[in-house]
Structure 1
Amino acid sequence: MDAKKYLQRIKVSADRNLDLEYLAKLQSGHMLNIPFENLDVTRKTPIRLNTDFFSEKILERGRGGFCYELNGLFQLLLSELGFQSRLISCTVKKPDGWAREDSHAAILVYLHQLPYLVDVGFGDSVRQPLPLTGEEKTDVSGTYRIKATAEGKFDLQRFEDGKWKILYRFSDRPVQLDDFHDACLFNQTSPESHFTHGDLATIATKDGRITLSGLTVTKSEESRKNKFELSVGKKKIFFSGNLT
Protein backbone atom coordinates (compact mmCIF):
# COMPACT_ATOMS: atom_id res chain seq x y z
CA MET A 1 0.00 0.00 0.00
CA ASP A 2 1.19 3.49 -0.86
CA ALA A 3 0.87 5.30 2.47
CA LYS A 4 1.80 8.63 0.86
CA LYS A 5 -1.02 8.29 -1.68
CA TYR A 6 -3.41 7.30 1.13
CA LEU A 7 -2.54 10.41 3.14
CA GLN A 8 -3.04 12.53 0.04
CA ARG A 9 -6.49 10.99 -0.48
CA ILE A 10 -7.58 11.85 3.06
CA LYS A 11 -5.79 15.24 2.99
CA VAL A 12 -3.63 14.62 6.06
CA SER A 13 0.11 15.30 6.25
CA ALA A 14 2.60 12.76 7.55
CA ASP A 15 3.53 13.24 11.21
CA ARG A 16 6.03 11.48 13.44
CA ASN A 17 3.93 12.17 16.56
CA LEU A 18 1.82 9.03 16.87
CA ASP A 19 -0.48 10.51 19.48
CA LEU A 20 -4.23 10.82 20.02
CA GLU A 21 -4.40 14.14 18.18
CA TYR A 22 -2.84 12.70 15.04
CA LEU A 23 -4.96 9.55 15.22
CA ALA A 24 -8.09 11.72 15.44
CA LYS A 25 -6.91 13.77 12.45
CA LEU A 26 -6.42 10.60 10.40
CA GLN A 27 -9.87 9.25 11.30
CA SER A 28 -11.62 12.54 10.56
CA GLY A 29 -9.72 12.97 7.29
CA HIS A 30 -10.74 9.50 6.17
CA MET A 31 -14.41 10.02 6.97
CA LEU A 32 -14.51 13.43 5.25
CA ASN A 33 -12.90 12.19 2.05
CA ILE A 34 -13.74 8.51 1.51
CA PRO A 35 -17.41 7.46 1.31
CA PHE A 36 -19.08 4.45 2.81
CA GLU A 37 -20.84 2.74 -0.12
CA ASN A 38 -22.26 -0.58 -1.31
CA LEU A 39 -22.29 0.05 -5.07
CA ASP A 40 -20.27 -3.09 -5.86
CA VAL A 41 -22.76 -5.17 -3.86
CA THR A 42 -25.81 -3.94 -5.74
CA ARG A 43 -24.00 -4.43 -9.05
CA LYS A 44 -22.93 -7.94 -8.01
CA THR A 45 -19.24 -7.15 -8.35
CA PRO A 46 -17.47 -9.56 -5.96
CA ILE A 47 -15.58 -7.97 -3.05
CA ARG A 48 -12.50 -9.97 -2.06
CA LEU A 49 -10.92 -9.65 1.37
CA ASN A 50 -7.58 -8.54 0.02
CA THR A 51 -5.89 -5.25 0.94
CA ASP A 52 -4.29 -4.97 -2.52
CA PHE A 53 -7.82 -5.10 -3.96
CA PHE A 54 -8.97 -2.49 -1.44
CA SER A 55 -6.02 -0.24 -2.24
CA GLU A 56 -6.62 -0.36 -5.99
CA LYS A 57 -10.31 0.41 -5.54
CA ILE A 58 -10.02 3.16 -2.93
CA LEU A 59 -6.67 4.80 -3.71
CA GLU A 60 -6.31 4.25 -7.46
CA ARG A 61 -9.95 4.54 -8.54
CA GLY A 62 -11.11 7.00 -5.91
CA ARG A 63 -13.93 4.77 -4.65
CA GLY A 64 -15.27 4.03 -1.20
CA GLY A 65 -16.44 0.74 0.27
CA PHE A 66 -18.07 -0.94 3.22
CA CYS A 67 -16.60 -1.88 6.61
CA TYR A 68 -14.19 -4.66 5.57
CA GLU A 69 -12.69 -2.49 2.85
CA LEU A 70 -12.58 0.81 4.75
CA ASN A 71 -11.44 -0.47 8.14
CA GLY A 72 -9.29 -3.18 6.59
CA LEU A 73 -7.29 -0.65 4.58
CA PHE A 74 -7.27 1.99 7.34
CA GLN A 75 -5.89 -0.50 9.86
CA LEU A 76 -3.10 -1.30 7.42
CA LEU A 77 -2.31 2.41 7.10
CA LEU A 78 -2.21 2.81 10.87
CA SER A 79 0.18 -0.12 11.19
CA GLU A 80 2.43 1.22 8.45
CA LEU A 81 2.55 4.62 10.15
CA GLY A 82 3.62 2.91 13.38
CA PHE A 83 0.41 2.76 15.43
CA GLN A 84 -0.26 -0.39 17.46
CA SER A 85 -3.60 -1.47 15.99
CA ARG A 86 -5.68 -4.55 15.24
CA LEU A 87 -8.98 -5.49 13.70
CA ILE A 88 -11.89 -6.56 15.91
CA SER A 89 -15.30 -8.03 15.11
CA CYS A 90 -18.59 -6.44 16.18
CA THR A 91 -22.27 -7.40 16.23
CA VAL A 92 -24.59 -4.60 15.10
CA LYS A 93 -27.76 -3.83 17.07
CA LYS A 94 -30.85 -3.43 14.88
CA PRO A 95 -34.22 -1.98 15.94
CA ASP A 96 -35.69 -5.50 16.00
CA GLY A 97 -32.72 -7.38 17.47
CA TRP A 98 -29.13 -8.20 16.56
CA ALA A 99 -27.59 -8.54 13.11
CA ARG A 100 -25.42 -11.51 12.14
CA GLU A 101 -22.90 -12.09 14.92
CA ASP A 102 -19.37 -10.68 14.44
CA SER A 103 -20.20 -9.41 10.95
CA HIS A 104 -18.90 -5.83 11.32
CA ALA A 105 -15.19 -5.00 11.25
CA ALA A 106 -13.71 -2.18 13.35
CA ILE A 107 -10.31 -1.28 14.82
CA LEU A 108 -8.70 -1.01 18.24
CA VAL A 109 -5.69 1.29 18.52
CA TYR A 110 -3.45 1.25 21.61
CA LEU A 111 -1.90 4.50 22.79
CA HIS A 112 0.30 4.13 25.88
CA GLN A 113 -1.32 0.72 26.39
CA LEU A 114 -4.82 2.26 26.47
CA PRO A 115 -7.26 0.94 23.82
CA TYR A 116 -9.34 3.26 21.64
CA LEU A 117 -12.11 2.23 19.27
CA VAL A 118 -11.59 3.62 15.77
CA ASP A 119 -14.18 3.00 13.05
CA VAL A 120 -14.23 4.59 9.59
CA GLY A 121 -16.66 2.03 8.16
CA PHE A 122 -19.95 2.45 10.02
CA GLY A 123 -21.53 5.36 8.19
CA ASP A 124 -22.99 8.03 10.47
CA SER A 125 -21.11 7.34 13.68
CA VAL A 126 -18.43 8.68 16.01
CA ARG A 127 -15.71 10.60 14.19
CA GLN A 128 -12.94 10.44 16.78
CA PRO A 129 -11.10 7.71 18.69
CA LEU A 130 -13.24 6.55 21.60
CA PRO A 131 -11.63 5.13 24.77
CA LEU A 132 -13.04 1.96 26.32
CA THR A 133 -13.24 3.70 29.71
CA GLY A 134 -16.82 4.97 29.41
CA GLU A 135 -15.70 8.56 28.79
CA GLU A 136 -18.23 10.48 26.71
CA LYS A 137 -17.16 12.13 23.46
CA THR A 138 -19.24 14.51 21.34
CA ASP A 139 -18.87 15.53 17.70
CA VAL A 140 -21.21 16.83 15.00
CA SER A 141 -22.81 13.37 14.66
CA GLY A 142 -23.73 12.97 18.34
CA THR A 143 -22.52 12.00 21.82
CA TYR A 144 -20.96 8.57 22.32
CA ARG A 145 -19.51 6.30 24.96
CA ILE A 146 -18.36 2.70 25.33
CA LYS A 147 -19.92 0.69 28.13
CA ALA A 148 -18.45 -2.58 29.41
CA THR A 149 -20.91 -5.49 29.66
CA ALA A 150 -21.14 -8.17 32.34
CA GLU A 151 -19.93 -10.74 29.78
CA GLY A 152 -16.61 -8.97 29.29
CA LYS A 153 -17.59 -7.29 26.02
CA PHE A 154 -18.18 -3.63 25.15
CA ASP A 155 -21.12 -1.66 23.74
CA LEU A 156 -20.69 1.35 21.50
CA GLN A 157 -23.56 3.65 22.51
CA ARG A 158 -24.99 6.94 21.20
CA PHE A 159 -27.18 9.27 23.26
CA GLU A 160 -30.51 9.65 21.46
CA ASP A 161 -33.89 10.95 22.64
CA GLY A 162 -32.80 11.14 26.26
CA LYS A 163 -31.30 7.65 26.53
CA TRP A 164 -28.28 5.61 25.49
CA LYS A 165 -28.79 3.46 22.39
CA ILE A 166 -26.49 0.53 21.56
CA LEU A 167 -25.02 0.73 18.05
CA TYR A 168 -22.95 -2.45 18.25
CA ARG A 169 -21.24 -4.86 20.67
CA PHE A 170 -17.64 -6.02 20.41
CA SER A 171 -14.82 -7.78 22.22
CA ASP A 172 -11.19 -6.69 22.31
CA ARG A 173 -10.05 -10.03 20.87
CA PRO A 174 -7.91 -9.48 17.75
CA VAL A 175 -9.09 -10.98 14.46
CA GLN A 176 -7.71 -11.24 10.95
CA LEU A 177 -9.30 -9.93 7.78
CA ASP A 178 -9.85 -13.50 6.56
CA ASP A 179 -12.02 -14.18 9.63
CA PHE A 180 -14.73 -12.05 7.97
CA HIS A 181 -14.94 -14.25 4.85
CA ASP A 182 -18.37 -15.75 5.60
CA ALA A 183 -19.78 -12.44 6.87
CA CYS A 184 -18.50 -10.59 3.81
CA LEU A 185 -20.13 -13.15 1.50
CA PHE A 186 -23.37 -12.92 3.50
CA ASN A 187 -23.45 -9.11 3.29
CA GLN A 188 -22.90 -9.24 -0.47
CA THR A 189 -25.47 -11.91 -1.34
CA SER A 190 -28.08 -12.54 1.36
CA PRO A 191 -31.55 -10.97 1.13
CA GLU A 192 -31.25 -10.59 4.93
CA SER A 193 -28.36 -8.16 4.42
CA HIS A 194 -29.49 -4.54 4.14
CA PHE A 195 -26.61 -3.93 1.71
CA THR A 196 -28.38 -5.97 -1.00
CA HIS A 197 -31.56 -3.89 -0.99
CA GLY A 198 -30.46 -0.83 -2.95
CA ASP A 199 -27.72 1.69 -3.57
CA LEU A 200 -26.24 3.41 -0.52
CA ALA A 201 -23.45 5.99 -0.45
CA THR A 202 -22.72 8.37 2.40
CA ILE A 203 -19.91 10.73 3.32
CA ALA A 204 -19.31 13.00 6.29
CA THR A 205 -19.09 16.75 5.83
CA LYS A 206 -17.70 19.32 8.24
CA ASP A 207 -21.19 20.22 9.47
CA GLY A 208 -23.09 16.97 8.84
CA ARG A 209 -23.39 14.35 6.13
CA ILE A 210 -24.58 13.73 2.56
CA THR A 211 -26.27 10.41 1.87
CA LEU A 212 -27.60 8.74 -1.27
CA SER A 213 -30.18 6.03 -0.58
CA GLY A 214 -31.76 4.65 -3.72
CA LEU A 215 -32.68 7.81 -5.63
CA THR A 216 -32.97 10.03 -2.56
CA VAL A 217 -30.19 12.41 -1.55
CA THR A 218 -30.24 13.69 2.03
CA LYS A 219 -28.04 16.56 3.13
CA SER A 220 -27.81 16.91 6.92
CA GLU A 221 -26.38 19.96 8.66
CA GLU A 222 -26.61 20.08 12.45
CA SER A 223 -30.35 19.67 13.14
CA ARG A 224 -31.48 20.45 9.59
CA LYS A 225 -32.15 17.95 6.81
CA ASN A 226 -32.82 18.63 3.15
CA LYS A 227 -33.92 15.87 0.78
CA PHE A 228 -33.69 15.77 -3.01
CA GLU A 229 -34.97 13.18 -5.44
CA LEU A 230 -32.97 12.00 -8.44
CA SER A 231 -34.67 11.47 -11.77
CA VAL A 232 -33.17 8.87 -14.09
CA GLY A 233 -32.94 9.54 -17.80
CA LYS A 234 -31.71 7.27 -20.56
CA LYS A 235 -28.06 8.08 -20.03
CA LYS A 236 -27.97 10.55 -17.17
CA ILE A 237 -29.10 11.02 -13.59
CA PHE A 238 -30.37 14.47 -12.70
CA PHE A 239 -30.83 16.26 -9.37
CA SER A 240 -34.32 17.64 -8.87
CA GLY A 241 -32.93 20.03 -6.27
CA ASN A 242 -29.81 22.00 -5.39
CA LEU A 243 -27.43 20.69 -2.74
CA THR A 244 -25.96 24.12 -2.03
Structure 2
Amino acid sequence: MNSSQVEAYLRRIGAERPQKPTGRALRGLQLRHLRTVPFENLSIHLGEEIVLEEERLLDKVIGRGRGGFCYELNGTFGALLAALGYEVELLAARVYGVEGRLGIPYDHLALRVRTAEGETWLADVGFGAHSHYPLSCTEREEQTDPVGVFRVVAAGPDAAGPDAAGVSGGPAGSGDLDVVRDGRPQYRLETRPRVLGDFAAGAWWHSTSPLSHFTRSLVCSRVSDDGGRVTLSGRELKTTAGDGTRGTRELETDEEVLTAYRERFGIELDCVPAVRNRNLDF
Protein backbone atom coordinates (compact mmCIF):
# COMPACT_ATOMS: atom_id res chain seq x y z
CA MET A 1 0.00 0.00 0.00
CA ASN A 2 1.23 3.48 -0.78
CA SER A 3 0.78 6.43 1.59
CA SER A 4 -2.31 7.79 -0.16
CA GLN A 5 -4.01 4.39 0.08
CA VAL A 6 -3.15 4.21 3.76
CA GLU A 7 -4.63 7.63 4.42
CA ALA A 8 -7.75 6.78 2.39
CA TYR A 9 -8.19 3.54 4.30
CA LEU A 10 -7.85 5.31 7.65
CA ARG A 11 -10.46 7.87 6.56
CA ARG A 12 -12.73 5.01 5.53
CA ILE A 13 -12.69 3.58 9.06
CA GLY A 14 -12.53 6.96 10.82
CA ALA A 15 -9.14 6.37 12.44
CA GLU A 16 -6.02 8.43 12.89
CA ARG A 17 -2.63 7.07 11.90
CA PRO A 18 -1.02 5.58 15.03
CA GLN A 19 2.38 6.92 15.98
CA LYS A 20 3.61 3.40 16.72
CA PRO A 21 2.29 -0.09 15.92
CA THR A 22 1.17 -0.81 19.48
CA GLY A 23 -1.37 -3.22 20.90
CA ARG A 24 -3.58 -0.37 22.05
CA ALA A 25 -3.64 1.12 18.56
CA LEU A 26 -4.45 -2.31 17.10
CA ARG A 27 -7.47 -2.60 19.39
CA GLY A 28 -8.79 0.72 18.18
CA LEU A 29 -8.21 -0.08 14.52
CA GLN A 30 -9.98 -3.42 14.72
CA LEU A 31 -13.04 -1.97 16.46
CA ARG A 32 -13.31 0.94 14.02
CA HIS A 33 -13.01 -1.48 11.12
CA LEU A 34 -15.83 -3.65 12.49
CA ARG A 35 -18.03 -0.56 12.90
CA THR A 36 -17.50 0.85 9.41
CA VAL A 37 -16.62 -1.92 6.92
CA PRO A 38 -19.46 -4.45 6.77
CA PHE A 39 -19.14 -8.19 6.59
CA GLU A 40 -21.11 -8.92 3.40
CA ASN A 41 -21.41 -11.44 0.58
CA LEU A 42 -23.23 -9.23 -1.93
CA SER A 43 -20.69 -9.74 -4.71
CA ILE A 44 -21.62 -13.42 -4.93
CA HIS A 45 -25.25 -12.57 -5.68
CA LEU A 46 -24.53 -9.54 -7.85
CA GLY A 47 -22.36 -11.58 -10.20
CA GLU A 48 -19.21 -9.65 -9.27
CA GLU A 49 -15.88 -11.44 -9.57
CA ILE A 50 -13.95 -11.91 -6.33
CA VAL A 51 -10.22 -11.62 -6.99
CA LEU A 52 -7.76 -12.04 -4.13
CA GLU A 53 -5.28 -9.41 -5.25
CA GLU A 54 -4.39 -6.52 -2.97
CA GLU A 55 -5.12 -3.73 -5.45
CA ARG A 56 -8.49 -5.19 -6.43
CA LEU A 57 -9.50 -5.63 -2.79
CA LEU A 58 -8.38 -2.14 -1.81
CA ASP A 59 -10.37 -0.68 -4.69
CA LYS A 60 -13.46 -2.50 -3.43
CA VAL A 61 -13.10 -1.46 0.22
CA ILE A 62 -11.67 2.04 -0.26
CA GLY A 63 -12.72 3.13 -3.73
CA ARG A 64 -16.22 1.60 -3.82
CA GLY A 65 -17.00 1.77 -0.11
CA ARG A 66 -17.90 -1.89 0.09
CA GLY A 67 -17.18 -4.68 2.55
CA GLY A 68 -16.64 -8.37 1.89
CA PHE A 69 -16.12 -11.71 3.55
CA CYS A 70 -13.08 -13.01 5.42
CA TYR A 71 -10.56 -13.23 2.58
CA GLU A 72 -11.35 -9.69 1.46
CA LEU A 73 -11.71 -8.03 4.86
CA ASN A 74 -8.74 -9.62 6.61
CA GLY A 75 -6.74 -9.42 3.38
CA THR A 76 -7.14 -5.64 3.21
CA PHE A 77 -6.90 -5.10 6.98
CA GLY A 78 -3.65 -7.08 7.01
CA ALA A 79 -2.26 -4.89 4.25
CA LEU A 80 -3.18 -1.77 6.23
CA LEU A 81 -1.56 -3.07 9.41
CA ALA A 82 1.63 -4.00 7.57
CA ALA A 83 1.78 -0.51 6.05
CA LEU A 84 1.44 0.93 9.57
CA GLY A 85 4.48 -1.00 10.78
CA TYR A 86 2.93 -4.14 12.28
CA GLU A 87 4.39 -7.55 11.49
CA VAL A 88 1.49 -9.42 9.89
CA GLU A 89 1.06 -13.06 8.92
CA LEU A 90 -1.95 -14.57 7.15
CA LEU A 91 -3.21 -17.76 8.80
CA ALA A 92 -5.59 -20.38 7.43
CA ALA A 93 -8.42 -21.80 9.50
CA ARG A 94 -11.22 -24.34 9.19
CA VAL A 95 -14.56 -23.31 10.64
CA TYR A 96 -16.51 -25.57 12.99
CA GLY A 97 -19.92 -26.32 11.55
CA VAL A 98 -22.85 -28.61 12.21
CA GLU A 99 -22.14 -31.33 14.78
CA GLY A 100 -18.63 -30.02 15.20
CA ARG A 101 -17.43 -30.94 11.72
CA LEU A 102 -14.62 -28.84 10.34
CA GLY A 103 -15.04 -27.01 7.07
CA ILE A 104 -12.85 -27.08 3.99
CA PRO A 105 -9.13 -26.23 4.03
CA TYR A 106 -8.59 -22.46 3.70
CA ASP A 107 -12.13 -22.04 4.99
CA HIS A 108 -11.23 -18.81 6.78
CA LEU A 109 -8.42 -16.24 6.81
CA ALA A 110 -7.26 -14.63 10.07
CA LEU A 111 -4.27 -12.47 11.01
CA ARG A 112 -1.41 -12.99 13.42
CA VAL A 113 -0.07 -9.56 14.32
CA ARG A 114 3.07 -8.65 16.25
CA THR A 115 3.32 -5.22 17.83
CA ALA A 116 6.13 -2.86 18.72
CA GLU A 117 5.97 -4.18 22.31
CA GLY A 118 6.62 -7.74 21.11
CA GLU A 119 3.05 -8.92 21.74
CA THR A 120 1.36 -11.36 19.37
CA TRP A 121 -2.35 -10.93 18.65
CA LEU A 122 -5.00 -12.72 16.64
CA ALA A 123 -6.80 -9.99 14.68
CA ASP A 124 -9.98 -10.85 12.81
CA VAL A 125 -12.41 -8.44 11.12
CA GLY A 126 -13.86 -11.08 8.78
CA PHE A 127 -15.71 -13.67 10.86
CA GLY A 128 -19.07 -11.96 11.13
CA ALA A 129 -20.14 -11.70 14.77
CA HIS A 130 -16.83 -12.28 16.54
CA SER A 131 -14.64 -10.56 19.12
CA HIS A 132 -14.56 -6.77 19.01
CA TYR A 133 -10.90 -6.71 20.02
CA PRO A 134 -7.86 -8.77 19.03
CA LEU A 135 -7.20 -11.91 21.08
CA SER A 136 -3.82 -12.75 22.57
CA CYS A 137 -2.20 -15.62 20.67
CA THR A 138 -0.11 -16.64 23.66
CA GLU A 139 -2.70 -16.46 26.46
CA ARG A 140 -4.42 -19.80 27.13
CA GLU A 141 -6.78 -18.60 29.82
CA GLU A 142 -10.11 -16.85 29.31
CA GLN A 143 -10.11 -13.52 27.47
CA THR A 144 -13.11 -11.31 28.11
CA ASP A 145 -14.55 -9.32 25.20
CA PRO A 146 -17.74 -7.21 24.96
CA VAL A 147 -19.44 -10.06 23.06
CA GLY A 148 -18.30 -13.03 25.13
CA VAL A 149 -15.49 -14.98 26.74
CA PHE A 150 -12.85 -16.32 24.37
CA ARG A 151 -9.99 -18.77 24.65
CA VAL A 152 -7.19 -19.58 22.21
CA VAL A 153 -6.11 -23.13 23.07
CA ALA A 154 -4.07 -25.97 21.64
CA ALA A 155 -6.24 -27.92 19.20
CA GLY A 156 -7.59 -31.38 19.86
CA PRO A 157 -9.62 -32.85 22.71
CA ASP A 158 -6.53 -34.14 24.51
CA ALA A 159 -4.94 -30.69 24.56
CA ALA A 160 -7.95 -28.41 24.81
CA GLY A 161 -10.19 -30.51 27.01
CA PRO A 162 -13.89 -31.19 26.43
CA ASP A 163 -15.02 -27.77 27.65
CA ALA A 164 -12.70 -25.93 25.26
CA ALA A 165 -13.05 -27.80 21.98
CA GLY A 166 -16.24 -29.60 22.94
CA VAL A 167 -16.25 -31.74 19.79
CA SER A 168 -13.99 -33.80 17.59
CA GLY A 169 -13.20 -32.19 14.27
CA GLY A 170 -10.51 -34.50 12.96
CA PRO A 171 -6.83 -34.71 13.74
CA ALA A 172 -5.06 -31.47 14.52
CA GLY A 173 -1.81 -30.48 12.88
CA SER A 174 1.26 -29.68 14.90
CA GLY A 175 0.73 -26.38 16.70
CA ASP A 176 -2.88 -25.87 15.57
CA LEU A 177 -5.06 -23.70 17.79
CA ASP A 178 -8.78 -23.72 18.50
CA VAL A 179 -10.50 -20.36 18.91
CA VAL A 180 -13.33 -20.83 21.39
CA ARG A 181 -16.18 -18.46 22.27
CA ASP A 182 -18.30 -19.06 25.36
CA GLY A 183 -17.21 -22.69 25.43
CA ARG A 184 -18.02 -23.37 21.77
CA PRO A 185 -15.23 -23.80 19.19
CA GLN A 186 -15.38 -21.26 16.35
CA TYR A 187 -12.50 -22.28 14.12
CA ARG A 188 -9.28 -24.29 14.06
CA LEU A 189 -6.30 -22.13 13.23
CA GLU A 190 -3.15 -23.34 11.50
CA THR A 191 -0.05 -21.50 12.65
CA ARG A 192 1.96 -21.77 9.43
CA PRO A 193 2.02 -18.40 7.59
CA ARG A 194 0.31 -18.24 4.20
CA VAL A 195 0.05 -15.75 1.35
CA LEU A 196 -3.16 -14.25 0.00
CA GLY A 197 -3.11 -16.35 -3.17
CA ASP A 198 -3.26 -19.53 -1.11
CA PHE A 199 -6.87 -18.73 -0.25
CA ALA A 200 -8.09 -18.52 -3.86
CA ALA A 201 -9.56 -22.04 -3.84
CA GLY A 202 -11.43 -21.38 -0.60
CA ALA A 203 -12.83 -18.10 -1.93
CA TRP A 204 -13.87 -19.81 -5.17
CA TRP A 205 -15.63 -22.64 -3.29
CA HIS A 206 -17.49 -20.29 -0.96
CA SER A 207 -18.60 -18.06 -3.84
CA THR A 208 -19.71 -20.84 -6.23
CA SER A 209 -20.55 -24.07 -4.41
CA PRO A 210 -24.24 -24.81 -3.72
CA LEU A 211 -23.02 -26.33 -0.44
CA SER A 212 -21.65 -23.00 0.73
CA HIS A 213 -23.95 -21.00 3.00
CA PHE A 214 -22.67 -17.86 1.27
CA THR A 215 -24.32 -18.85 -2.04
CA ARG A 216 -27.62 -19.68 -0.32
CA SER A 217 -28.17 -16.51 1.67
CA LEU A 218 -27.58 -12.77 1.65
CA VAL A 219 -25.90 -11.05 4.57
CA CYS A 220 -24.62 -7.57 5.32
CA SER A 221 -23.63 -6.88 8.93
CA ARG A 222 -21.56 -4.56 11.06
CA VAL A 223 -20.99 -3.62 14.69
CA SER A 224 -23.05 -0.57 15.68
CA ASP A 225 -21.64 2.42 17.54
CA ASP A 226 -23.18 1.33 20.85
CA GLY A 227 -21.52 -2.09 20.65
CA GLY A 228 -24.56 -3.87 19.25
CA ARG A 229 -25.03 -5.08 15.70
CA VAL A 230 -27.10 -4.29 12.64
CA THR A 231 -27.68 -6.97 10.02
CA LEU A 232 -29.60 -7.07 6.75
CA SER A 233 -30.39 -10.65 5.70
CA GLY A 234 -32.21 -10.46 2.40
CA ARG A 235 -35.11 -8.17 3.29
CA GLU A 236 -35.00 -8.75 7.04
CA LEU A 237 -33.34 -5.95 9.00
CA LYS A 238 -32.18 -7.03 12.45
CA THR A 239 -30.79 -4.74 15.13
CA THR A 240 -29.28 -5.59 18.49
CA ALA A 241 -28.53 -2.67 20.81
CA GLY A 242 -25.59 -2.62 23.17
CA ASP A 243 -27.95 -3.39 26.06
CA GLY A 244 -29.21 -6.51 24.29
CA THR A 245 -32.50 -5.07 23.03
CA ARG A 246 -33.43 -6.71 19.73
CA GLY A 247 -35.57 -5.60 16.83
CA THR A 248 -36.58 -7.15 13.50
CA ARG A 249 -38.31 -5.52 10.55
CA GLU A 250 -39.23 -6.91 7.14
CA LEU A 251 -38.49 -4.44 4.34
CA GLU A 252 -41.32 -4.58 1.82
CA THR A 253 -40.03 -2.65 -1.20
CA ASP A 254 -36.82 -2.61 -3.20
CA GLU A 255 -36.41 1.07 -2.36
CA GLU A 256 -36.49 0.27 1.35
CA VAL A 257 -33.80 -2.38 0.87
CA LEU A 258 -31.55 -0.07 -1.15
CA THR A 259 -32.04 2.71 1.41
CA ALA A 260 -31.07 0.33 4.23
CA TYR A 261 -27.88 -0.64 2.40
CA ARG A 262 -27.05 3.02 1.87
CA GLU A 263 -27.97 4.44 5.27
CA ARG A 264 -27.04 1.52 7.50
CA PHE A 265 -23.91 0.29 5.71
CA GLY A 266 -22.82 3.07 3.36
CA ILE A 267 -23.26 0.80 0.33
CA GLU A 268 -24.71 2.24 -2.87
CA LEU A 269 -26.36 -0.39 -5.08
CA ASP A 270 -28.19 -0.06 -8.40
CA CYS A 271 -30.35 -3.11 -7.79
CA VAL A 272 -31.39 -5.43 -4.99
CA PRO A 273 -29.26 -8.59 -4.88
CA ALA A 274 -31.09 -11.88 -5.42
CA VAL A 275 -29.97 -15.15 -3.82
CA ARG A 276 -28.64 -17.42 -6.55
CA ASN A 277 -29.32 -20.77 -4.83
CA ARG A 278 -32.57 -19.95 -3.07
CA ASN A 279 -34.42 -23.02 -4.39
CA LEU A 280 -31.66 -25.59 -3.90
CA ASP A 281 -32.03 -28.09 -1.08
CA PHE A 282 -28.84 -29.72 0.23
In the alignment, is the contact (CA less than 8 A) between 1:229 and 1:239 conserved in 2? Answer: no
CA drift of 1:134 comes to: 1.7
User: Could you tell me the percent identity over the aligned residues?
Assistant: 34
Q: Over aligned residue pairs, what C-alpha RMSD do you find? A: 1.9
Residue 3 of structure 1, CA deviation: 0.3
Distance in 2 separating the partners of 1:236 and 1:119: 31
- Matched to 1:189, the amino acid is T
Q: Distance in 1 between matches of 2:144 and 2:60?
A: 32
CA positional deviation for 1:239: 8.5
CA–CA distance in 2 between the matches of 1:147 and 1:212?
33
C-alpha deviation, 1:115, in angstroms:
2.2
Quote the residue 1:55 is aligned against. Answer: 58
Aligned to 2:48: 45
Asked if 1:203 corresponds to 2:209, the answer is no
Q: Separation in 2 of the partners of 1:196 and 1:238?
A: 20
The answer to whether the 8 A contact 2:88-2:113 is kept is yes
Are the structure 2 counterparts of residues 236 and 32 from structure 1 closer, same or farther at C-alpha, using a change threshold of 3 Å?
A: closer
Q: Give the AA of the match of 2:110.
A: A
CA-CA distance at 1:198 after TM superposition: 2.2
Quick one: which of 102, 107, 113 aligns to 1:103? Answer: 107
Task: Find the aligned partners of 2:246 and 2:71 in 1 and give their Cα distance.
Answer: 29
Gaps of 5+ in 1: none
Name 1:115's counterpart in structure 2: 120
Distance 2:142 2:192 in 1: 23
Give the direction of change, closer, same or farther, for the CA distance of 1:229–1:74 in structure 2 (3 Å limit).
same
TM-score (norm 2): 0.79
Query: Is the 8 Å Cα contact of residues 93 and 169 (structure 1) preserved in structure 2?
Result: yes
Q: Which residue of 2 aligns with 1:176?
A: 195
Q: Give the equivalent residue in structure 1 for 2:251.
A: 230
TM-score normalised by L of structure 1: 0.91
8 Å Cα contact 1:85-1:108 kept in structure 2 = yes
Please give the per-residue CA displacement for 1:102-154, whole angstroms capped at 9, x wherever unaligned: 21011000134442100000110011111122243333322212111244211
The C-alpha deviation readout for 1:13-59, integer Å capped at 9, x for no partner, is: 11212211001011011001100000001122110011111111110
Could you tell me which residue of structure 2 aligns to residue 129 of structure 1?
134
How has the CA–CA distance of structure 1 residues 29 and 237 changed in structure 2, closer, same or farther, with 3 Å as cutoff?
closer
CA distance in 1, matches of 2:200, 2:245: 39
Q: Does structure 1 conserve the Cα–Cα contact (< 8 Å) formed by 2:40 and 2:68?
A: yes
2:239 maps to 219
Conservation of the 8 A alpha-carbon contact between 1:93 and 1:99: yes
Counterparts of 2:52 and 2:21, CA distance in 1: 27
